[in-house]
């Protein structure tokens, strides 16, 4: 009988400890760094001519209670280059990610993404943009128009 009571007490203690861990994780999760971008949805650069490079500062704020650390950023193609802060972003602080798009060799509608990996929950956030790349006017037609 002592063994049964001891087993029940150990089981109750384990359940209480597990619930306490779940509560702690939930409380901690609510305080995690939270990256909130000013731009919502897909940013539209509009039209540009093939060969041009454009840039955009995607502004964000850390709305969590711990410092935000951006670990890495990956672009969907080599035509897109991100630049980001390498130092922690304190709670309430604002910063930005610079995204450069080089349209060389691109034509038509371009839909690109930039994935931001940070110490957030979830562990990544995606930025998306589109741009319409118009062909560069043919130099032979320009010289014949003169």
Q: What is the CATH number of the domain that holds 52?
A: 2.60.40.10
DSSP structure class, residue 104: T
- Model pLDDT for residues 15-69, shown as the tens digit of each residue: 555 555 555 555 666 789 999 999 889 999 999 999 999 999 999 999 999 999 9
Structure-model confidence comparison of residues 42 and 6, the more confident one: 42
Average pLDDT, the chain: 86
pLDDT recorded at residue 142 = 46
Q: How far apart are CA 8 and CA 29, in angstroms?
A: 31
> Phi, psi (5° rounding) for residue 137?
-55, 140
Count of domains in the chain? Answer: 1
pTM of the model: 0.75
Range of the domain at 111: 38-134
Considering the domain boundaries, does residue 142 fall inside one?
Answer: no
The most distant pair of C-alpha atoms in the chain lies apart, rounded to whole Å, by 105
Considering the domain boundaries, does residue 1 fall inside one?
Answer: no
- DSSP, collapsed to helix, strand or coil, labels residue 26 as helix
Q: How far apart are CA 83 and CA 31, in angstroms?
A: 26
């Amino acid at each position: 009988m002592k063994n049964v009571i001891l087993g029940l007490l150990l089981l109750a203690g384990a359940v209480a400890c597990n619930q306490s861990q779940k509560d702690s994780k939930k409380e901690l999760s609510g305080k995690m760094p939270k990256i909130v971008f000013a731009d919502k949805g897909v940013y539209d650069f509009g039209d540009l001519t093939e060969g041009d490079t454009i840039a955009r500062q995607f502004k964000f704020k850390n709305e969590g209670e711990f410092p935000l650390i951006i670990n890495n950023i990956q672009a969907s193609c080599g035509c897109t280059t991100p630049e980001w802060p390498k130092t922690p972003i304190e709670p309430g602080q604002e910063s930005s990610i610079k995204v450069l798009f080089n349209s060389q060799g691109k034509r038509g509608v371009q839909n690109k993404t930039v994935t931001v990996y940070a110490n957030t929950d979830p562990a990544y956030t995606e930025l998306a943009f589109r741009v319409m790349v118009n062909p560069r006017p043919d130099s032979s037609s320009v010289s014949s128009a003169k």
